[in-house]
Amino acid sequence: MMELTTALRHFCLIGFSLLLSQSSLAADDRFANVEIKAQKLSDNTYMFTGSGGNIGVSAGKDGIIIIDNQFAPLAGKISAALNDIQPGLPRYVVNTHYHGDHTGGNNTFGVSGAIFAHNNVLKRLANNDKYTPAALPSITYEQGTSIHFNGDTLHLIHIGAGHTDGDSVVLWEDKSVVHMGDLFFKDKWPYVDLNAGGSVKGYRDSVADIINRIGNNTKVIPGHGELATKNDLIRFKHILDASINWMESQLASAKSLEALKENGLPKHLQGWGWSFISDERWIETLYQDLSHSDAKP
């Protein structure tokens, strides 16, 4: 009986190992055809696109800074794309928030570079066993800090709860570039992570704050989507205002979530849904957050 039990355990361990291996292969296959593309914004700044959040890059005499780093399996491709611009590993890494499509490469890039992030990013990543000690932010802040690098000053700004409770925007002091993190989804409904301290109105207010800080010619790197302009960000803020106003009017009329989803968004709010945040999911987000807003401190 003992021999049978031991054999069964051995068989189960083999089966579990195979499942993990297959899962890893599936993840690799998912990113096999992803290409990291570099778009030059100035003499030493770039935007990288691939799969996941857009990456901001500063490369120059002081070395390399990267802002966000997409999914873990893409770290090698990101390193190769950086090497095409300038040899060397990043000296500094900025996490605009804690989501894995922006921090997955921390395990790789945190070995060579110090990671900057809001305090709440450290709290959340430290509770995730996918991240090694080297992948955790080593420099954190409550409201913000600045990095003086490659002849520029990059201001890391935390305004308040928005996409999550730990968002940072990175603004170049000369206002040439701003990296919004996931406080900007270009031409799409945003993801407001209510389970991670996100806030619909806080999100809108953060966008409004950054609009007032940037210039008309500032290049705007969204968390997701193509390189944008200040006018794109203003348009985004307007649709946030309109959707908040619409939901508040529906709540004042005591409309149920089921009725709102059945009727859908009014015509002036249509055209912003996408695969992750459909119109229906945006209605749910607005309803869940705004219907309890009076109870919030």
Place of tokens 């070395």: 63
Structure tokens at 267: 């015509």
Name residue 28's amino acid.
Answer: D
Tokens of 136: 């955790």
Q: How confident is the model at residue 14 (pLDDT cuts 50, 70, 90)?
A: very low
Residues 6+ apart with CB under 8 A from 27: 73
* pLDDT at res. 28: 60
Query: Which pTM value belongs to this model?
Result: 0.89
Residue 25: what pLDDT? 47
Region 100-111: mean pLDDT is: 97
> What is the average pLDDT across 74-91?
97
* Overall average pLDDT of the 95-118 stretch: 97
Q: How many angstroms separate the CA atoms of 244 and 200, rounded?
A: 8
| Confidence class for position 29, pLDDT limits 50, 70, 90 | confident
Given this model, what pLDDT does residue 295 score? 44
Q: Give me the pLDDT at residue 23, please.
A: 43
Question: For the ranges 89-98, 263-272, 285-294, which has the lowest average pLDDT?
Answer: 285-294
Residue 30: predicted pLDDT: 86
- Mean pLDDT for 166-181 is 98
Whether residue 230 has pLDDT greater than 60: yes
pLDDT at 292: 80
What would the mean pLDDT of 160-167 be, rounded to a whole number?
98
pLDDT of 6 over the 60 cut? no
pLDDT computed for residue 19 by the predictor: 43
Closest to 219 measured CA to CA, from 232, 237, 238, 207: 232
Provide the b/e sequence for 152-181 (b: ≥16 CB within 10 Å).
bebbbbbbebbbbbbbbbbbbeeebbbbbb
- Provide, rounded to the nearest whole percent, the portion of the chain with pLDDT above 90: 88
How confident is residue 27, by pLDDT bands cut at 50, 70 and 90? low
CB atoms inside a 10 Å sphere around CB 141: 16
